[in-house]
Structure 1
Amino acid sequence: MLYATQPYIITSRQIERGQQKISQTEEYLHLYQDKVITASHEFQIIEVHDMSFRLLSANYGFFYLHTIRGVFAYVVTSSPHDFIDAYKKIK
């Protein structure tokens, strides 16, 4: 059962014909009772120690996923507080 979803932004930079091209892709964190899934990782809920958030500006912030494999940072444009609260209810 899906408990919460949080969008995040992946920014990539490439050089094409001598010019830097920046593109942004929106991906999602998905919180289930037993796992957290991102575009490139899957964490069992027992591997997750904590989640936190730091606002950088009016438009961007960092969502931090603290796991046994390290801390993973995701750029978010909306508040992840509902996602974090859902995690705390599960944990």
Structure 2
Amino acid sequence: MWWSVWWVWVVAGFLIGGLEIVAPGYIFLGFAIGAVTTGVFLGLGILSGGPAFLLLTFAICSLVAWFALRRTMGVRAGQVKVWDKDINDN
């Protein structure tokens, strides 16, 4: 079936990555990395199985990618700007 074809996962990953351009903020990037990673694992023959196992692999890879992105590109201490004066105040 379609879920066991490696290039379907890679194409889905790139399409999800395209959503990141529309809605920036690293929301979809973890899912895109997870889908591409699952496709690469399928293509290399590391994975094989039914849809439940592949979705579990996709979820785990996406979660690991999200944690890695959060660690490298997340909010840093002191990055938030606190406004104490309004531009309209005289």
1 or 2, which has the higher strand percentage? 1
Both structures adopt the same fold (TM-score exceeding 0.5): no
Larger radius of gyration: 2
Please give the TM-score of this superposition, normalised by the length of structure 1.
0.29
TM-score by length of 2: 0.29
Higher relative contact order (CA 8 A, sep 6+): 2
